A and B are shown apart, each in its own frame.
Chain A
Amino acid sequence: MNPRKDLITIGALSDEDIRTILESTSAMKDIFTKSVKKVPALKGKSVLTLFYEPSTRTRSSFEVAAHRLSADVTTFTVSTSSVVKGESVHDTIDTLMSMKMDYIIVRHKNSGIPAVIARHCKAAVINAGDGSHAHPSQAFLDAFTIKEKYGEVAGKRVVIIGDILHSRVARSTSTILRRLGAEVAYMGPGPLVPPQQHTGIARFTNWDQIFEWKPDVIYLLRVQNERIDTPFFPAADYHQAFGVTEERLKRIDDLNMSIMHPGPVNRGVEICDAAMEYRNCLINNQVENGIAARMSILYHLTPQTQCHD
């Protein structure tokens, strides 16, 4: 297998890449139970986290993952105000190349930025979320969480509910799940779910259709107010129309479905309080698996920096 330098989208990966990363995620997770939660796999390597968008969970998850592989981590905090107008991506890339980093983990509000960086950089570039495009590490942790829960992903049904239009999570997670043989459907407010002919994914408009379809996993997305200036739907409607209400939770429980969410959760909007304590709520598993999946991704990629130093 050719060594892979970057992780930009799930679509760019081979089946073997996906299988290998998922398999080693399991091995990485075993490390967490040891008394020393650290292996020397990336000792001496430098990892840069470059987040142009605010993020707590993903960045700290990547940082913990890199630390557990013994890498040196540098955090490059970019205040959104100073960078967007001024420095072009190219100048940023030049700066990064001068720093001789081995791995660059990047998040940006514009779709396609990590790909631009990856093309011009010898470092391994990991897309930690770009605009509405892709969030491949989230896809791996989601697939791994489903695999861990059910033994395998193939044949499972997953409905992703919420703002599909703006969601990089929906795009990446649906792609990996379908590559692994799961069935995926989308549901959400009309203007936020692209038509099926664009996505190739079944489009539901209400919970009745979901309960009829009997998915194994209800995957909730956060309503992303920060990306929306003109409202796509009346906000007051959301919980009753699209959220997991206490009433719906009972049916979810009866049908033994799981609930997932990429976080952070808006309680009382997409999910009721009680659902957070639900026996099949996998949200905390996702967080734990996120570190293991990101360790596996870092381990799997091969920067082209060594031979040029």
Chain B
Amino acid sequence: MTNTYITNATWALTGEKIDLRMGHGDEPVSVFLNDIPLDGVNGVAPAGEMLIPEGARVIDADGKLVMPALFDLHTTINLEGHSKRESIYRAGQAANQGGVWGMLVMPSRGFIFDNAATLDSFDEAVSQRSFATMVPAGCISEGMAGEQQAPYNTLAARGVTILSDGGRMPTSLLMLHRAMKYAAAMDLTFAIRGDVPCLSEKTYMHPGTTSYNLGLHGTPACAEEIGIETLIRLAEDAGARLHIQTVSTAEGVNIIRRAKAKGMTSLTAEVALHHLLYTHENVGDYDTTFKTLPPLREQSDCEALLEGVKDGTIDCIVTDHTPCMPFAKKQDFVSAPQGMVALDTFLPAIYTHLILPGKLSWADVVRACSTAPAAIVNPYDQEEDVPVVAPLLLFDPAAEREVTPDSLYCGTLNSPLLGTVLRGSVTLPISR
């Protein structure tokens, strides 16, 4: 069996032109570029300098970028009328299109990861139906009810490294504090969104002119910020790893920056792509597509979050992919569910709206969307007993594609990008 060669590709992080030799499946990873392991690659050389045997399979990647594929730390697979297996299949297809090779799947009503049986059946469905690696996040509390701790030891034995109640902050800080103390010994990470539920209940969007005009109650930024501060103090005291989910406010970024500056190495944080791209004004005249949890905030928050990504305060950009049935999103704003879908369009949207306008570099994106999130989850192949690393991704920056209902594989249409044209398209995976 001959090797496959990729020639004239541009390494996204540095812009260098390179040739790559792809290894066979049983050859170990042998090559690192910018400290990133290149899965399936066993040779790299400057473009034109690699010896290519006659008859070898060659992919000319002139004009295309190569980079490690993305890992999404925040995906929810809502069933929305489909079976579990079908939903898993669709999410995997969507991820492939968006440049995502693997994802952390949040527990949700359809997938309550608080017991071994659910995890086993999920893993089985993923191995049979999914194009993408899917790592389940175990529940913090049984049934995500916030009352009793889930059996962390059992979950950890099934490969769980992250615990989350899916966007909900447990109301009982005592339960959470004890959970953190217990789980710290197993090196589990708590992924929680900062919130004070009693301050944010019955609120529907960011407080401002739009919320006033629409007569919708505003979610105060301080609810999230107090929540973040509280989580940090609890995790510090308990000695647990903490990952703050979907930070949406400028002060939230500051709180995390201060904690990291103090030397809290077990703290990481994420921002959802939509919090970098949209503000509360996008809600316009009750556009439920822009109803998210936490809500879209001010332009100054978007800028502070972007700054946080650039200086590493915010470790990851995530999709916070949340499929919602068209029917549900067509309800009035108060009744409609929160969330957007973003897996299908993830990398093209980042390229079009963050890289092309010069807001982020490819190096920022590779760190925030590939290496950092994968390092937080540490996906591990239990059968092969090896860590799983990102496959290479080939990205064509010259391609253009309109986002249409047919082009969204995830199964629902709650994407703010529907009807818009995105630059760039993804070929994935090229190393498998």
Binding site for B on A (CB under 8 A): 11, 88-90, 108, 110-113, 115-116, 130-134, 168, 171, 194, 197-200
How far is A200 from B208 in the complex, measured between Cα atoms in Å? Answer: 11
Q: Which residue of B lies closest to A171 (CB)?
A: B215
Q: Please give, as numbers and ranges, the residues of chain A lying within 8 Å of B335 by CB-CB distance.
A: 88-89, 110
Q: Which residue of B lies closest to A200 (CB)?
A: B209
Q: Please give, as numbers and ranges, the residues of chain B lying within 8 Å of A11 by CB-CB distance.
A: 213
CB of B215 within 8 A of CB of A133, answer yes
How far is A200 from B212 in the complex, measured between Cα atoms in Å? Answer: 10
Minimum CB–CB distance for A198 against chain B, Å: 5
How far is A225 from B185 in the complex, measured between Cα atoms in Å? Answer: 50
B286 at the interface (CB under 8 A from A): yes
CB of A88 within 8 A of CB of B331, answer yes
Minimum CB–CB distance for A8 against chain B, Å: 9
Q: Which residue of A lies closest to B210 (CB)?
A: A198
Provided the pairs A90-B327, A132-B217, A198-B207 are in contact, do residues A111 and B212 lie with their beta carbons within 8 angstroms?
no
Provided the pairs A89-B335, A198-B207, A198-B209 are in contact, do residues A111 and B330 lie with their beta carbons within 8 angstroms?
no
Q: Which residue of A lies closest to B335 (CB)?
A: A110
CB of B212 within 8 A of CB of A90, answer no
Provided the pairs A132-B217, A198-B207 are in contact, do residues A112 and B333 lie with their beta carbons within 8 angstroms?
yes
Q: Please give, as numbers and ranges, the residues of chain A lying within 8 Å of B327 by CB-CB distance.
A: 88, 90
CB of B209 within 8 A of CB of A115, answer no
A171 contacts which of B213, B331, B333 (Cβ < 8 Å)? B213
Q: Pick the 10 closest A-B CB pairs, nearest first.
A: A133-B215, A132-B215, A111-B215, A110-B334, A112-B286, A112-B332, A198-B212, A113-B332, A112-B333, A110-B332
CB of B333 within 8 A of CB of A111, answer yes
Can you list, as one digit per residue, whether each of B203-231 has a CB less than 8 Å from chain A (1) or not (0)? 00001110111111100000000000000
Interface residues of B in 317-345 (CB under 8 A from A): 327, 330-335
CB of A116 within 8 A of CB of B209, answer no
CB of B212 within 8 A of CB of A115, answer no
Q: Please give, as numbers and ranges, the residues of chain B lying within 8 Å of A113 by CB-CB distance.
A: 332
Q: Please give, as numbers and ranges, the residues of chain A lying within 8 Å of B212 by CB-CB distance.
A: 171, 194, 198-199
Please list 20 pairs of residues, one from A and one from B, whose beta carbons are closer than 8 Å in the complex, sorted by A's number.
A88-B327, A88-B331, A88-B335, A89-B335, A90-B331, A108-B332, A110-B333, A111-B215, A111-B216, A111-B332, A112-B215, A112-B334, A116-B330, A116-B331, A133-B215, A133-B216, A134-B215, A171-B213, A194-B207, A200-B209
B49 at the interface (CB under 8 A from A): no
Interface centre among A134, A194, A199 (most CB of B within 10 A): A194
Provided the pairs A198-B208, A198-B209 are in contact, do residues A130 and B215 lie with their beta carbons within 8 angstroms?
yes
How far is A111 from B213 in the complex, measured between Cα atoms in Å? Answer: 10
CB of B286 within 8 A of CB of A131, answer no
A115 contacts which of B211, B216, B217, B285 (Cβ < 8 Å)? B285
Minimum CB–CB distance for A176 against chain B, Å: 14
Q: Please give, as numbers and ranges, the residues of chain A lying within 8 Å of B209 by CB-CB distance.
A: 197-200
CB of B331 within 8 A of CB of A89, answer yes
Interface residues of B in 167-219 (CB under 8 A from A): 207-209, 211-217
Q: Please give, as numbers and ranges, the residues of chain B lying within 8 Å of A115 by CB-CB distance.
A: 285-286, 332
Interface residues of B in 257-301 (CB under 8 A from A): 285-286
CB of A116 within 8 A of CB of B332, answer yes
A131 contacts which of B207, B215, B330, B331 (Cβ < 8 Å)? B215
Q: A89-B332, A116-B286, A168-B215 are in contact. List 10 more A-B contacts (CB 8 A).
A: A11-B213, A89-B331, A111-B333, A115-B285, A115-B286, A131-B334, A132-B216, A133-B216, A199-B209, A200-B209
Q: Please give, as numbers and ranges, the residues of chain B lying within 8 Å of A171 by CB-CB distance.
A: 212-213, 215
Minimum CB–CB distance for B219 against chain A, Å: 14
How far is A90 from B328 in the complex, measured between Cα atoms in Å? Answer: 10
Q: Please give, as numbers and ranges, the residues of chain A lying within 8 Å of B285 by CB-CB distance.
A: 115
CB of B332 within 8 A of CB of A90, answer no
Q: Which residue of A lies closest to B209 (CB)?
A: A198
Q: Which residue of B lies closest to A115 (CB)?
A: B286
How far is A73 from B213 in the complex, measured between Cα atoms in Å? Answer: 31
